Structure 1
Amino acid sequence: MAVKTNYKKNGTNYFRVSAVLGTDSKGKRILKEFYGKSKSEAEEKKREYLEGIKNGLNIDTKRVLLGELIHTWLFETIRVSDRIKPTTFEKYEGLYRNYVKDSPLYSIKLSELKALQVQRYYNGLSDLGKSRNLIENLNKLLKQFFNYAVDEGYLSKNPCLGKKIVIPGEKKPRKEVQHFSDEEIGILVSNLKDNRYSELILLSLGTGLRRGELLALTWEDIDLKNKIVKVNKSLAKVYIIAGDGSKERKQIIQVPKTRGSIREVSFPDNLTSIFKDIRIKQRRDRLKCGESYEVSDYVFTTSSGSLIDVTNLSHAWEHLLKKCKLPHKKFHALRHTFATKLFENEVALKTVSELLGHSSIDMTANTYTHVIPKQKSDAVEKLNYIFAKN
């Protein structure tokens, strides 16, 4: 039985139905036409369209490509938001540029987007050897974007919510954090004489502050009387990305990564003299440089008074480890060493978490699994007296 049609275009028969969307300024009806291979198909397209309008969907959705809208969202909304740090936007832009811009997702019309298309793309990335962590970060970005698309009426629901999407790839066991042994600490400290960054290294070891937090410290943050360091900002070296996509590498001072990172950290009495040494060093540098010295309130500066460049610090750190004949560890290992030593000296988990500025106790526990089991074991051993033979 032949399918009934009522319209022919370019030699192909269709069934056409129309809907009245309202009237224009002259009172003329605004019509929208829908085509299908049968009456039921055309009516279904009409129903979906009108239902979408009823639910607040943007009537231009059918012409909007996922890649185009996510670019607009990133550069015209996210980039200028005061809630997004430059370091975060740099990460988002990299995910878009590497995994959306030239991907199969880019040219998908939002009106035709299905969760299965996203899933297949993730599966393909996994097959190419991309890590589960990378795919999770991409999914977080897309989920945030799809929420925006729903709010703006481009989508009726977020395809990445709930259990619609499964992140492929095997979860890798957490690597044990790098830290220095007592012997290595001794070797490191003994080789700090005449090192430009000696005070910085010792304070990292004695306070557990992140590198960026240390480099952003000002003298106003140092309370020598009460032996407290106030952490409220961080230095980072990032690409500042303009609206046209151009980039410029800069060092910036920004608020810490989490609310918990804003904190006060006590430091050992033996570190008090280090701050006095820094003051003396800065005065000497200023006398040598004269008017060319960059006067600021920062605690850690170069010999000319400017902020320390993180790249230069990394090179100097690598050179120091080679001089000490120690295996390579990141500068961040000093922070891990601080935490490890606290646990070894039976400091409570909650206290360590607060000193480190972690967002939760769970994060601290998961990071330092290499030392916490021993701490638990030692605690249980203290109950031996109960079972001691008389």
Structure 2
Amino acid sequence: MAKKANGEGSVQKYYQNGVFKGWRGRISVGYNDKGEIKRKTFYGKTKQEVLKKMTEYQYKQNIGQLPADDKITLAEWFRTWLFEFRKHDLKPSSFERYESIYRIYIADTPVGNTRLAELRASHIQNHFNNLLENGKSASVVHNVYKFLNTCLNEAVKQGYIPVNYCQSVKLPKLTKSNDEDSKGIVAFTLEEQTKFLKMLRGHKHETAITLTLGTGLRLGEMLALKWSDIDFTNNTLHVSRSIKWVTFISNDGKRQCKLIEQTPKTNSSIRAIPIPENIAAKLKQHRKKQLEVKMKNREFYNDNDYLFCDKFGNPLDTKKIPRAFKTVLKKAGIRDMKFHSLRHTYATRLFEVGVPIKTVQALLGHTDITTTMNIYTHVMPEQMDMAADKINALFGQ
């Protein structure tokens, strides 16, 4: 039998307590301080799976994608996974969120400094318990778990660890009191809406704010609208993109903020929304004024086709209109609320006039109807009372 070359490794059946568990392979990955050969172990359900892991590991090690020894910590692996495996398949905004989880909750923490080969469920459980004890919500812990679990799944795939111990921890229960999706749902009352619209008249951003209130658009969706998205014949608009400030992070840690245009997070966000006739009329007036500004600044105008832009055609800063909204609120003497409350108000008005929840879901661009129901449960009791009144009328004299 031919002798195996150095580093080629071996693969054999793997037993635990006399029970067949799968296949195990080992390759040499260098030498320790004493000059002894160091080996790395890979596990899999089949021999072919183990061989594939070994081959992939050696390839990535040869091109410098993976550390050459088993001293890699969880934080080091998380960063390698993030910048080498995920950076190019994530949207910039998603990558920024992943990186913030790494930077805030993994890097420079006891669990992050634990060697990946020595990591156990107890380390992760202790980390989650500490987060809760230091005031972090159950939602935050669930979010960290989601990213860490995906990261460790890849570590198993790459042969770093035989088991993803993240899947063995106990997570805190999410309830309505700590579920972030159920917080901060504030909408105009009918009286407040009337006062607000009256105070908004003649404001520089009247059309943009009124359109948001009349269509339930998210801020980024509204700012990304182009005239090609507007159908004045049928009074509808088409949502297919959004605008957002994103921090681009290079491998050496340098950060640069850019305003980018990107596709929506889910297919459900791509949708058509009817425009109320009076708002469609405002849009036509707005377009007329915009063309005048364009002609005045034609020498420097960037024709990006945006509905709402500065005098040179560039997209508006995402903070500009929310600030204007807050100013109008204050002048109208209305309680403080976020710009996103316009979207909540739109949904609330739909429920109040009896629009079916499935239609509301489609108009808001929610993927799951449960999301719509969870967010707008404050409107449901009124709808139930209305339904009861209608049923009661069927049994009248």
TM-score range, shorter chain: 0.7 to 0.9
User: By how many angstroms is 1:69 displaced?
Assistant: 1.1
- Asked if the contact 2:72–2:116 (Cα under 8 Å) also holds between the matched residues in 1, the reply is yes
Distance 1:222 1:29 in 2: 62
1-structure distance, mates of 2:215, 2:206:
14
CA contact (8 A) 1:215 1:307 kept: yes
1:125 to 119, 122, 131: 131
Rate the CA distance shift 1:225–1:128 in 2: closer, same or farther, 3 A: same
Which residue of structure 2 lines up, in the alignment, with residue 143 of structure 1? 149
Match of 2:392 among 357, 365, 384: 384
Measure the CA separation in 1 of the matches of 2:370 and 2:176. 18
Larger radius of gyration: 1
Judge which range, 107-116 or 164-173, deviates more.
164-173
- 1:308 is matched with 316
SS in 2 for 1:80: coil
Q: Which moved more, 1:368-377 or 1:347-356?
A: 368-377
Are 1:178 and 2:186 matched, yes or no? Answer: yes
Query: Could you tell me how far 1:385 is from its partner in structure 2?
Result: 3.0
Q: CA deviation at 1:328?
A: 1.3
In structure 2, C-alpha distance between the alignment counterparts of 1:63 and 1:155, rounded to whole Å: 12
2:281 to 267, 273, 277: 273
2 CA distance for matches of 1:334 and 1:254? 22
Residue of structure 1 equivalent to 2:161: 155
State the TM-score, normalized to the length of structure 2: 0.82
Alignment partner of 2:149: what SS?
helix
What pairs with 1:37-48 in structure 2 (closer than 5 Å)? none
Pairwise CA distance, 1:290:
3.8
Match runs of 1:72-111 below 5 Å? 72-81=80-89, 84-111=90-117
Aligned mate of 2:169, from 152, 165, 168: 165
Asked if residue 212 in structure 1 is aligned to residue 220 in structure 2, the reply is yes
2:130 & 2:357 partners in 1: Cα distance? 41
**2:106 aligned partner, one-letter code:** V
Does 1:229 pair with 2:237? yes
Displacement of 1:216 in angstroms is 0.5
Shift of 1:293: 2.4
The 1-side partners of 2:43 and 2:105 are apart by: 34
Aligned equivalent of 2:353: 345
- 1:176 deviates by 5.5
Q: Deviation per CA, 1:263-283: give whole Å up to 9, x if none.
A: 111122222212211211211
User: Equivalent residue of 1:309, what SS?
Assistant: coil
- Structure 1 residue 220: deviation in Å? 1.0
Which range moved further: 118-127 or 169-178?
A: 169-178
**Separation (CA, whole Å) in 2 of partners of 1:30 and 1:358:** 51
Unaligned runs of 5+ in 1: 1-21, 32-46
Checking the alignment, whether the CA contact within 8 Å between 1:232 and 1:256 is kept in structure 2 is yes
**Cα RMSD after superposing both structures:** 2.4
How far 1:364 sits from its partner (Å)?
0.3
Alpha-carbon contact 1:131-1:169 (below 8 Å) kept = no
SS in 2 for 1:53: strand
- Report how far residue 358 of structure 1 moved: 0.2
Q: Secondary structure of the residue that 1:387 maps to in structure 2? A: coil
Give the residue type in structure 2 aligned to 1:266: P
| Residue deviations 1:202-249 (CA, integer Å, cap 9, x gap) | 111111111111111111111110111111101111211122221111
Cα displacement string for residues 51-72 of structure 1 (whole angstroms, at most 9, x for unaligned residues): 9435336686733221111101
Quick one: percent identity of the two aligned structures?
37
Alignment match, 2:5: 24
Give yes or no for the alignment of 1:354 onto 2:362. Answer: yes
Offset of 1:117 from its aligned partner? 0.9
Residue number in structure 2 paired with 1:53: 42
**TM-score normalised by structure 1 residue count:** 0.83
Residue 287 of structure 1 deviates from its aligned partner by 3.2
- Displacement of 1:48: 8.2
SS of the equivalent of 1:157 reads: coil
Q: Which 10-residue stretch deviates more, 169-178 or 240-249?
A: 169-178
Please, which moves more after superposition, 142-151 or 192-201? 192-201
How far apart, in 1, do the equivalents of 2:276 and 2:139 lie? 38
User: How many residues of Structure 1 are paired with residues of Structure 2 in the alignment?
Assistant: 347
Q: Matches of 1:189 and 1:145 in 2, distance apart?
A: 48
CA contact (8 A) 2:209 2:325 kept: no
The change in CA–CA distance for 1:343 and 1:54 in structure 2 (over 3 A counts) is: closer
Q: Which of 191-200 and 259-268 deviates more? A: 191-200
Give the counterpart letter for 1:317 in structure 2. Answer: F
Say which SS state the counterpart of residue 286 (structure 2) adopts: helix
SS in 1 for 2:299: helix
1:386 Cα offset (Å): 4.0
1:250 equivalent in alignment to 2:239: no
> Could you say which residue in structure 1 is the equivalent of 2:383?
375
1:165 is matched by which residue type in structure 2?
Answer: V
Q: Output the amino acid matched with 2:203.
A: N
Q: Which of 300, 303, 306 is the equivalent residue of 1:292?
A: 300
